[in-house]
Structure 1
Amino acid sequence: MTRYTLTLLLALLLGAANSFAELRQFELTIDEVELDVAPGFSAKVWGFNGQVPGPLIHVKEGDELEVTVQNNSTLNHTVHWHGVYQTNTWPHDGVPDVTQRGIEPGDSFTYKFVVDKPGTLWYHCHVNVSEHVGLRGMWGPLIVEPKNPIPVEKTVTKDAILMFSGWNSEVANEYGTGGKPGEVINYFSINGKSFPMTHPLQVKEGDVLRLRLIGASIPTSFHTHGHDMLVTHKDGLPLKAPIEADVVALQPGERYDVIMKMDNPGLWMTHDHIEHHTTNNGKDHGGSMLVIEYQDVERPEWYMWKDHEVERDFYMIESMAKPHGLHDIEAFKGQDPDAGRRPRRPVHGH
């Protein structure tokens, strides 16, 4: 290879790399809102852009991010970008009293870093995580598209995100409380809602569905009926050899990507196999459950979602199909407790 050819090749490679990466500038607010979690139960939360989970941030490996966070709440907060290596940008890691001062009420902070690790990541507050993350909904998904996806990823036709969390109804309505040893978590949710307020995940036969499972605040033992799961990634990184699983156990902070072939039409339950996680304040059926609903399958008259409106972006499938960026999702929005509550939509007779 001549020196000229080598120089040209390097220039082309650098040009390709630069065309992939972009500077992306986003804004997040931290707002005090009230969130309907389960029939008859709501919680006061600190929602990024007033929602739980926070907005989907979907970018590409190598992108440079500038995220300005405005604190509209009454307590200090930071944002930690969980899974980002922060190479040469450690002051933007979001740890109070270590990498930065907490963002005080009324103030803002701009985080600047390169997303140097692909996969299923997430972001969350790092002040008093037992309350702010564990009980107040301060978390959201950060999905980083890899430059070099593994072959099985290229088969995916639908990309869904599930974030698992818990709630303590005894402290749910008073900010600055909770997160103490010995407290009881008595509500369990997927994307901020407990069954039956988790919407059906709609698919059609032939889809290849990826579920991005994120342990936001509770341990979870995730099980699907009627289908096997192929576990392809852990904490954003591809496994050397994907494995088939019937149950996937994850701890708070862990992430797993699983891929499922939608080849068994029906109405199928997925649920947490930690038994009390499928209750609402001790009552069945509730908690961390959802229905995978195939298109064109007949809905019996007694089916709870028959004739009810389904939020199609509840698992962020539609937002994941949009151009890269930051995507608010209306279904996750809370209400301003001082401005009066919007009327609740009826939920299965509750």
Structure 2
Amino acid sequence: VSTLPDGRTLRSFEVTAEDKEIEIAPGILFPAWTYNGRVPGPTLRATEGDRLKIVFRNNGSHPHSMHFHGIHAARMDGVPGAGLIGPGEEFVYEFDARPFGCHLYHCHALPLKRHIQKGMYGAFIIDPDPARHPEHEAVARSRLLGTPENAGWQEFVMVMNAFDTNFDNENEVYAVNTVAHAYAKKPIRVLKDKPVRIYLVNVVEFDPINSFHLHANFFDYYNQGTTLTPTLRTVDLITQCQAERGILEFHFREHEPGLYMFHPHQSEFTELGWSGMFDVVEALS
């Protein structure tokens, strides 16, 4: 992080594409194409109005790019002729962080479905600048990383993904953040008196619709995260198409401690790995 001559913040990132074998379930290895050696790639987070500089290097075996769901010039779009580079090459993406919301980035090389399904995607979060939204300043401050208001939330990034392990254009393993049943075997511990915010992104290929269902509770939903008022209030299930995303907010203040499940309401997805638990506790031990 540095400061530009005009006083704005410059956030610089370095991202490298590389081929890497990853474990998506115990004993199941997948030959992934990755950003910085991981699937999903690192979450890139900025504040509305920041200048972003992403140095992208391709150390993989195929042409790759970074296409950001945001506002930018055509020459920064991450498509052929505008940021798509071959193995051994480098490209620098530069643009302003806007609009605020829950976004994503992914490779836009062809065949697109294969480059995404092989692991080339990640969350891209732009926090609102409270000064630009005086009518909703309190809400904006609660989303802005580093503020006392934001510290009062328990925030999680959940990238819903899946893997075609035999390359037949159908998925065999489903997950949140890649590892099947990870949050069922090791539940996510949350404090019952502290609100929860989830940045939810759907990048599942080969299945047109994914969903998120929260057991024994309801949440407010901000579709795309580009508003400071909910798109939906008091719902326990939302659906997302491919590349759709949003923000979920809820709490367990009125609940007794215990394990509360979350999963898609496509039973096949749940049974093949996309399931988890919140371990609601009075205090973190």
Please report the TM-score for the alignment, with normalisation by the length of structure 1: 0.69
**1:278-337 Cα shifts (integer Å, max 9, x gaps):** 123xxxxxx11111012359xxxxxxxxxxxxxxxxxxxxxxxxxxxxxxxxxxxxxxxx
State whether structure 2 residue 175 is matched by structure 1 residue 189: yes
Counterpart of 2:243? Answer: 253
1:252: how far off? 1.0
Task: Tell me the equivalent position of 2:267.
Answer: 275
1:93 to 77, 80, 103: 77
Equivalent in the alignment of 1:234: 223
- 1:145 maps onto 2:127 in alignment: yes
Q: Which residue of 2 aligns with 1:160?
A: 156
Q: Is residue 75 from structure 1 mapped to residue 57 from structure 2 by the alignment?
A: no
List per-residue Cα deviations over 1:39-87 (Å, max 9, x = no partner).
Answer: 23121111111011111211111111111111111100111011x111x
The letter of the residue matching 1:104 is: G
Amino acid at match of 2:44: I
Is the CA contact (8 Å cut-off) linking 2:42 and 2:123 kept in structure 1? yes
Q: Which has the higher contact order (CA 8 A, sep 6+)?
A: 1
Where 2:71 maps in the other structure, the secondary structure is coil
Q: Does 1:211 align with 2:198?
A: yes
CA distance, structure 2, for counterparts of residue 91 and residue 196 of structure 1: 39
Paired residue secondary structure (1:237): coil
Offset at residue 166 of structure 1 (A)? 1.2
| 2:122 matches 1:132 | no
1:221 touches 1:248 (CA, 8 Å); kept in 2?
A: yes
Q: 1:196 to 1:116 in 2, by over 3 A?
A: closer
Q: Whose strand fraction is larger, Structure 1's or Structure 2's?
A: 2
Match of 2:101 among 97, 107, 119: 119
Pairs aligned (count): 256
The question of whether the paired residues in 2 share the 8 Å contact of 1:58 and 1:145 is answered with yes
SS of structure 2 residue aligned to 1:91: helix
Task: Give the secondary structure class of the aligned counterpart of 2:94.
Answer: strand
In the alignment, which residue of structure 2 is the partner of 1:284?
Answer: none
Do 1:187 and 1:279's aligned partners in 2 also have CA atoms closer than 8 Å? no
- Indicate which of 258, 266, 285 corresponds to 1:266: 258
Distance 1:109 1:221 in 2: 35
Larger Rg: 1
Instruction: Confirm whether residue 107 of structure 1 aligns to residue 89 of structure 2.
Output: yes
Whole-Å Cα distance in 2 between the matches of residues 92 and 271 of structure 1?
Answer: 36
Per the TM alignment, residue 246 of structure 1 is displaced from its structure 2 partner at its CA by 1.2
- Equivalent residues of 1:49, 1:55 under 8 A apart: yes
Q: Secondary structure at the match of 2:113?
A: helix
> Tell me, which stretches of 5 or more residues in structure 2 are unaligned?
1-5, 143-148
CA contact (8 A) 1:30 1:71 kept: yes
Query: How far apart are the structure 2 equivalents of 1:73 and 1:161?
Result: 26
**Alpha-carbon separation, structure 2, partners of 1:273 and 1:168:** 20
CA distance in 2, matches of 1:116, 1:250: 22
Structure 1, unmatched stretches of 5+, are 1-17, 172-177, 281-286, 298-350
Q: What is the CA–CA distance in structure 2 between the aligned matches of 1:227 and 1:75, rounded to whole Å?
A: 44
Amino acid at match of 2:57: Q
Structure 2 CA distance for partners of 1:210 and 1:44, relative to 1, 3 Å: same
